[in-house]
A = this chain, B = another copy of it.
Amino acid sequence: MSEDHLGKIRVLVVDDHPIVRVGIAAIIDARPDMMTVAQTGDAEEAIRLFEQHLPDITLMDLRLPKMSGVEAIRAIRLRHPKACFVVLTTYEGDEDIYQAIEAGARAYVIKGMPHEALTDALRRVHAGGRFLPPPISRALAQRTPDSDLTSREREVLSLLAQGRTNKEIAMELGITVATVKCHVSVILMRLQATDRTQAVVTALQRGLAHL
């Protein structure tokens, strides 16, 4: 190992697919001005590795086993408020993006973009800037004020997205069917859906719920 890492952008890579990690590392380590310091597919180990290496930038996938990438970002930022994050993920709806930005991500790159998008994002963020591809910022702009659901509504929505009936949801939450119907009505309004099936579909599209 050479000792020429002075001045290089030091990157921690977090993605649950080993193959993707190899690809990212290959791209980054091929550039003279950046290098990877560690990689993992596990959110908890990511937190440990961050403490250990204190990288300039953490490259983070959002969909991870156990803990989500957003939670990992929040956890790290609690102790290191100046930590820099670039999200690298397949496009999975505006909600994930919104959450990630909210949690403090400074850039958002979609897998499937050319390599330059990734390295560009890293350089810009390291220089103190941001990087949001046009399709992403467009999606974000379309969020209306009441696309936010209350925590109870998210709870109901996730049960809806499992194909449960109102009665089952009522049992599960220990409330009456009438109340469930109220929540469902509000959800339909917020998602601009006309029935529960449509609500589930758009929730999955936007990343408000997962399979």
Stretch touching chain B among A2-10, A47-55, A72-80, A110-118: A110-118
Chain B residues with CB under 8 A of A160: 197
Q: Give chain A's interface residue range (CB within 8 Å of chain B).
A: 35 or more
Known: A26-B26, A160-B197, A197-B160. A115 touches B18 (CB 8 A): yes
**What residue of chain B has the Cβ atom nearest to residue A93's Cβ?**
B211
Which residues between 120 and 168 of chain A lie within 8 Å of chain B, taking CB atoms?
160-163, 165
In the assembled complex, the CB of A124 is this many whole angstroms from the nearest CB of chain B, namely 18
A20 touches which of B16, B111, B193 (Cβ 8 Å)? B111
Known: A16-B112, A112-B17. A200 touches B22 (CB 8 A): no
Which residues between 87 and 106 of chain A lie within 8 Å of chain B, taking CB atoms?
88, 90
Chain B residues with CB under 8 A of A165: 194-195
C-alpha gap A196/B165 in the complex (Å): 11
In the assembled complex, the CB of A112 is this many whole angstroms from the nearest CB of chain B, namely 5
In the assembled complex, the CB of A199 is this many whole angstroms from the nearest CB of chain B, namely 8
The answer on a CB contact under 8 Å between B20 and A20 is: yes
Chain B proximity mask over A22-54: 1 for CB below 8 Å, otherwise 0: 111011000000000000010000000000000
Using a CB–CB distance below 8 Å, which chain A residues touch chain B? 16-24, 26-27, 41, 88, 90, 111-115, 118, 160-163, 165, 193-202, 204-205, 211
